[in-house]
Amino acid sequence: MTTRSLLILPGDGIGPEVMAEVRKVIDWLGAKRDLAFEVSEDLVGGCAYDKHGTPLHDDTMAKAQEVDAVLLGAVGGPKYDDLDFSVKPERGLLRLRKEMDLFANLRPAQCFDALADFSSLKRDVVSGLDIMIVRELTSGVYFGEPRGIFEEGNERVGINTQRYTESEIDRVARAAFDLAMKRGKKLCSMEKANVMESGILWREVVTRVGADYPEVELSHMYADAGAMQLTRWPKQFDVIVTDNLFGDLLSDLAAMLTGSLGMLPSASLGAPMENGRPKALYEPVHGSAPDIAGQGKANPIACILSFAMALRYSFDLGEEAARVEGAVEAVLAKGLRTADLLGEEGVSPVSTAEMGDAVIAELDASL
Ligand code: IPM
Ligand code: MG
């Protein structure tokens, strides 16, 4: 029998609430589709710090290395703002990404038709939008050395280093080309080759990898121009590949095009494990939203869609992933809205749990 192991790390803020709705989907797949998952749960972020004095306990790290997929809610909150940098909740997430070597971060930005009017851009510009940003996740300025705050003469200097090796660029480029082959066969690579040597190397390596993918139409853009083009006419893009920091910015920008950060999932993938499945962590793009935590107001859709990505990329269950995505689309088409999606007249918000239950009802209806 195939085993499918999942480590769930709900984290802080709204993380536990949205994860509870994902649990419903996992249970549904077990009960109605005969797809069992071995689920374990643990702490990450502020809650891990509260219990262990570290945002990610070594035992949790070890478990994450063993399972087929990790599903994370969100980390952080104002309570932890004054903690030392080394134990801030975010460090737990960054450690997972780094030690699991999750170099390819997939961030789809898809506009649900029912929500096109929530975008800050005109409906016409975003309706039908379906792009994928592939962000390099384990290198670049996030991790480059030297880094730190140092004394220099009579003042301090803050230093971070943008650093990319050819092999780091090569592997994320391949991940992006592979995705482009399964989608619209268009890839745009973004860097700042006009001002950064790392950008020059990036462009050179991506071009070289492109020779192995003659069917994919490759283009290059400076990342600032890319940001401008993403707001001008986002539908010109299919897959975008970019570095860690530009990817952080551009994926937030792309997310907002779709109307709500509360809707977008992500997958972070590494090299294949012994069983052929890639090392993988799935998480919503949104944060821990401490201002609404514990009130049942959070939108569970990004987290549910992150689990759908796990079905597709870790468990080879693309059809079930599409079923979950279809259920979400159906719920939105029926007009159900969590508080982050209000604005239409006469619509009152549903709670986090009501949204989850509605998705389950649509799953039932799909059988
Ligand atoms: C993201 C977040 C993280 C990042 C933070 C929470 C460390 O903004 O996943 O985009 O900067 O990578
Ligand atoms: Mg970010």
User: Is 82 within the bounds of a domain?
Assistant: yes
Residue 261 has pLDDT above 80, yes or no: no
Are 245 and 294 within one domain? no
Residue 285: closest CA among 8, 6, 18: 18
Q: What's the pLDDT band for 1 if we cut at 50, 70, 90?
A: low
Asked if 269 and 234 sit in the same domain, the reply is no
Determine, yes or no, domain membership for 109.
Answer: no
**Listed residues 226, 257, 288: the one ending a domain:** 257
298 occurs within a structural domain: yes
Q: Please say whether the beta carbons of 287 and 74 come within 8 A.
A: yes
Q: Is the CB of 249 under 6 A from ligand 1?
A: no
Average pLDDT over residues 274-303: 94
Specify the ligand 1 atom closest to the Cα of 97.
Answer: 12
Do 138 and 251 lie in a common domain? yes
Please list, in sequence order, all residues whose beta carbon lies within 8 angstroms of the beta carbon of residue 340, skipping any fewer than 6 positions away: 260, 261, 262, 297, 298, 299
Residues 153 and 183 in one domain: yes
114-123, 171-180, 242-251, 257-266, range with the lowest pLDDT = 257-266
- In this structure, the residue with its CA closest to atom 10 of ligand 1 is 248
The residues annotated with a catalytic role in the active site are 142, 192, 224, 248, 252
Q: Is 248 in the pocket of ligand 1 (CB under 6 A)?
A: yes
Answer yes or no: do 88 and 141 share one domain. no
The predicted pLDDT at position 303 comes to 97
Last residue of a domain, one of 241, 257, 273: 257
Asked, for residue 320, whether it belongs to a domain, the answer is: yes
Answer yes or no: is 187 within a domain. Answer: yes
Supply the range of the domain harboring residue 200. Answer: 130-257
Domain-terminating residue out of 257, 283, 313: 257
CA-nearest of 107, 130, 126, 131 to 116 is 126
Regarding whether 175 and 141 lie in a shared domain, the answer is yes
Q: Please give the mean pLDDT across all residues of the chain.
A: 95
| Higher pLDDT, residue 267 or 113 | 267
Reply yes or no on whether the pLDDT at 260 is more than 80.
no
pLDDT of residue 48 exceeding 90: yes
Residue 10: inside a domain, yes or no? yes
Q: How many CB atoms lie within 10 A of CB 144?
A: 16
27 and 81 share one domain: yes
Residues 240 and 161 in one domain: yes
HSE-CB of 304 using CA atoms within 13 angstroms:
35
- CATH code for position 236: 3.40.718.10
Is the per-residue pLDDT at 344 higher than 90? Answer: no
Q: Are residues 146 and 252 in the same domain?
A: yes
| 249 and 296, same domain (yes or no) | no
In a domain, 352, yes or no: yes
Task: State whether 6 and 24 are in the same domain.
Answer: yes
| Rounded Cα–Cα distance for residues 190 and 219 (Å) | 9
pLDDT in tens, 302-332: 999 999 999 999 999 999 999 999 999 999 9
- Number of domains making up the chain: 2
Distances from the Cα of 299 to the Cαs of 14, 23, 233, 284, 286, in angstroms? 9, 15, 27, 11, 10
Q: Ligand 2 center to residue 155 CA distance, Å? A: 30
| 345 is a domain residue | yes
Same-domain pairing of 311 and 366: yes
- State yes or no: 295 annotated in a binding site: yes
The closest-lying atom of ligand 1 relative to the alpha carbon of residue 244 is 12
Q: Write out the E strands in 182-334.
A: 186-191, 217-222, 239-242, 265-272, 278-284
Whether 208 has a binding-site annotation, put simply, is: no
Which residue has the CA at smallest separation from atom 8 of ligand 1?
248
Give the pTM.
Answer: 0.93
* Cα 38 from Cα 58, distance rounded (Å): 21
